[in-house]
């Protein structure tokens, strides 16, 4: 926790705007250093206090979450789904140490929500870390949804590929095999398949079977690679830059 906590407090200190903020910040650090039951009670009250700044609730939730205090759960899930990736990463770290069974369900809901894909990177990574029953189904569902041409959220897809390899569940083989055909995911997908005991030649054969076959019109056109959809490349997106086929 030490390194992550120092990164958090250094970042928050740069956000302070007034002498009053600095006083409140130093008090929070004092409560963290004391690590007493009374101090944790005060931190928990900060999570629900009216008009507390976000940075104060973030520090309080991080301290409580890393200590296994489940009162931090709601605030940490809110931050896991926040628009600022740095806050998402901090929340994911604390949630991974909270030990609350609700965490995996919340992370799976965020990862699989198509309206929140831009913010799904850290929920995906958290699911891989938790190794919960929800982890593999959620990562497979998210990856399969992102395996479309020009999808801008390739970093989220890559995190799914890497997470599925780490989890070692063979239910992921079809989705990982499909990911091999995407240039941005191919190396990681092949590595994950190898961890699952799927040899590269089998993967290549499966990929060829997916792209070979009679010209049915969808892939018609001389000189166009199989599986490419004509049209302009999509630009950068908040979750990962250029598309998978870029």
- Measured CA to CA, the distance from residue 31 to residue 118 in angstroms comes to 35
pLDDT of the residue at 133: 97
pLDDT of the residue at 169: 97
pTM over 0.75: yes
Rounded alpha-carbon distances, angstroms, from residue 147 to 70, 73, 136, 140, 243:
36, 32, 17, 11, 10
* pLDDT, average across residues 140-156: 95
Residue 231 has pLDDT above 90, yes or no: no
pLDDT of the residue at 50: 86
Residue 227 has pLDDT above 80, yes or no: no
Q: How many CB atoms lie within 10 A of CB 145?
A: 16
pLDDT digits (tens, 9 = 90+) for 72-127: 999 999 999 999 999 999 999 999 999 999 999 999 999 999 999 999 999 999 99
DSSP notation for 28-51: HHHHHHH--HHHHHHHHHHHH-TT
Q: How confident is the model at residue 245 (pLDDT cuts 50, 70, 90)?
A: low
- Structural domains of the chain sorted by starting position, each given as residue range(s) with its CATH number in brackets: 1-100 (1.25.10.10), 107-212+234-246 (no CATH)
pLDDT digits (tens, 9 = 90+) for 38-51: 999 999 999 999 88
Residue 243 has pLDDT above 90, yes or no: no
Nearest to 165 by CA among 145, 136, 142: 136
H-helix segments, the chain: 2-15, 19-34, 37-48, 54-66, 73-80, 85-98, 102-112, 121-130, 135-146, 154-167, 173-179, 186-195, 200-211
Residue 179 has pLDDT above 60, yes or no: yes
pLDDT of the residue at 214: 39
- 153 and 146 Cβ atoms separated by less than 8 Å: yes
Buried (b) or exposed (e) across 54-84, using 16+ Cβ within 10 A? ebbbbbbbbbbbbbebebbbebbbbbbbbee
């Amino acid at each position: 926790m030490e390194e992550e906590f120092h990164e958090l407090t250094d970042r928050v200190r740069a956000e302070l705007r007034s002498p009053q903020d600095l006083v409140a910040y130093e008090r929070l650090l004092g409560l963290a250093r004391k690590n007493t039951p009374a101090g944790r009670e005060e931190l928990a009250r900060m999570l629900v206090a009216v008009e507390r700044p976000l940075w104060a609730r973030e520090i309080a939730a991080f301290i409580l979450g890393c200590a296994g205090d489940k009162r931090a759960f709601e605030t940490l899930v809110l931050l896991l789904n926040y628009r600022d990736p740095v806050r998402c990463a901090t929340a994911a770290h604390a949630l991974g140490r909270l030990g609350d069974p609700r965490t995996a369900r919340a992370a799976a809901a965020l990862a699989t929500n198509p309206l929140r894909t831009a913010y799904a990177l850290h929920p995906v990574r958290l699911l891989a870390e938790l190794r919960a029953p929800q982890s593999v189904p959620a990562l497979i569902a998210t990856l399969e949804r992102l395996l479309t041409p020009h999808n801008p959220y390739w970093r989220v897809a890559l995190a799914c590929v890497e997470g599925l390899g780490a989890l070692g569940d063979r239910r992921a083989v079809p989705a990982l095999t499909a990911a091999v055909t995407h240039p941005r995911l191919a190396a990681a997908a092949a590595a994950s398949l190898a961890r699952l005991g799927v040899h590269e030649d089998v993967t290549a054969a499966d990929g060829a079977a997916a792209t070979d076959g009679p010209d049915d019109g969808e892939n018609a056109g001389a000189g166009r690679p199989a599986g490419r959809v004509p049209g302009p490349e999509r630009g950068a997106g908040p979750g990962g830059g250029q598309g998978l086929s870029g």
